[in-house]
Structure 1
């Protein structure tokens, strides 16, 4: 093997010299060209040479060969990056990689680089927006004009011809309420104190309201609950003082539910005897709560694979379903409800 500076990028010409073949042969082997009959010994020699030299095919070359970039740009709104969102990003990364697509995430949290600069620099094949936040809305037409055919909103309102949200949050609130109304006739809803989470919390609350209305029960008593015990105490006091008293709480997520449980303990009350609480997400801390938290479990792998299927279909020119992804939900019953 000839000596080379580690600072120089290894090229297909280097691999060709190392394997003693033509650059065309290197391209055929590393791209698995189906129409070329190349002896297996030659293929092995090329792959071994590429591995020794640390050769990585140029992303630009791959884009030219395919006629598009291999990048899917994920747009995150200004939301907390918590356990479930982090898991979904990883599962999207893995599922897209199976289709030789690379998932890159851009957050809208201030002071992020302007979205227009990001997509123009990357020229992604597709854009997946978790929420239809204003900057993405304004850019959608420009992206499509630039050849970026897929601009999907996972959550958020439908505006200016955007597809319907691909993941429905209402069934989560429905599942929470259906579980609690087996033993509780007055429900409360613990709403998050992060304004940007309304795209998730609003539909979940709608699901709780629908169950209550369908059973002729009072509308849920909605209180904004910060993720700290002192702030949650006031909400618990208000629920207990209501007429009739609230006895079951559907929390926006497990973090909010844990704050409610902490407030219950600090007031000398018990869960579920005095106030039952059910969360969402089954985060690792849910099983460690006092008492252990009953929660709704989401199948984020199904969500990730459903989103990737739609992206790949759209890139291949296949008709894409506008129906929400059917995500299985189940209740992990512990002690709190």
Structure 2
């Protein structure tokens, strides 16, 4: 007759207090680093050592109840959509918020309706919600979060959102900058790569809008170019670009642009002599490939500035405005 393995008992703060010979209040003061608590350094060291030895893990929900607020910061994000540039920036933001006592949760829910999405985020009762170029962060969504007690509602968006602490960064400016640069280099028949991967349209569509705006201003033509991030798709698109007699391509970002640039080389299309190529994000990848890739560099608010703004919003309800996101062309050999 078999028996199911027993679940080991959960280590609690009471266990730590008992083993360290102190009160549970003292354990709480030490583990939560409570400001103003009178705990000697020797006692603090002993409590931390016992907690580590026992494998004690603080209970986030209970800690939030004691503190009267959550320390969670929800960042709704699709990993496939943000790319390397934004993933590195989000990682820096997570580190900066961690230094201020917050726990960042990347939330992959794909609910499309803004109010329904906000209700999903609010279920975690976070202290803050931060979105980047997410059309679901609307005034209505912000009201849902406010009613749920979310203290800081922050968004990176093309324009200020009512009820949201917004740092402005218009993705259409990237497409406009890329096309403007290609026009300066004498190109007039320009393709714009539109990634087929799910989740990327939130970035690709406004970049196409900006590219078209710049094309209209300069009297050149724009051709949207759907493309999957595969060798075969890049190869097929390289042939299509040659058939369409395009002389410039904005590749959405550096990864798609580099893949397409390599495909041009495979088919005897010279970059930039036959077709100039521009990417975006200014990744190291763009300097590794040959020819080196012209790109659009982002200047985002620093992670520390954003984390400080979130902390101020949580505690004070207000924070200084963050600098606007801006973009610049970094010209290299591909254009």
CA deviation vs aligned residue, 1:77-104 (integer Å, no higher than 9, x gap): 5953532343233223212211111111
TM-score normalized by the length of structure 2? 0.78
Q: Which of 237, 245, 253 in structure 1 is aligned with 2:242?
A: 237
Q: Deviations over 1:153-181 (max 9, x none)?
A: 32467777556563332443354345434
CA displacement, residues 117-170 of structure 1 (integer Å, 9 cap, x when unaligned): 743542111112334445977654332211113333324677775565633324
CA deviation map 1:239-291 (0-9, x unaligned): 52xxxxx5332221123313432442344220011111010124454344343
The DSSP-based 3-state class of the residue aligned with 2:218 is coil
Q: 1:140-159, aligned counterparts within 5 Å? A: 140-155=142-157
> SS at 1:280's partner residue?
coil
CA distance in 1 between partners of 2:50 and 2:9 (Å): 17
TM-score, normalization: structure 1? 0.78
Alignment RMSD, CA only? Answer: 3.6
Question: 2:3 aligns to what?
Answer: none
CA distance in 2, matches of 1:321, 1:33: 27
CA apart distance, 1:315: 1.0
For 2:159 and 2:225, the matched residues in 1 are separated by 22
What is aligned with 2:125?
Answer: 123
The 5 Å alignment of 1:284-299 reads 285-299=285-299
Cα separation, partners in 2 of 1:310 and 1:137, compared to 1, 3 Å:
same
After TM superposition, give the deviation of residue 221 of structure 1 in Å.
1.6
Distance in 1 of aligned mates of 2:124 and 2:47: 30
Kindly tell me: are residues 193 and 26 of structure 1, through their superposed partners in 2, closer, same or farther at Cα, counting changes over 3 Å?
closer
Q: List alignment gaps of at least 5 residues for structure 2.
A: 1-5
**5 Å matches for 1:80-95?**
80=81, 82-95=83-96
Note if contact 1:185-1:217 (Cα within 8 Å) is conserved in structure 2: no
State the partner residue of 1:104.
105
Q: Unmatched 5+ residue regions in structure 1? A: 241-245
- Report how far residue 68 of structure 1 moved: 0.9
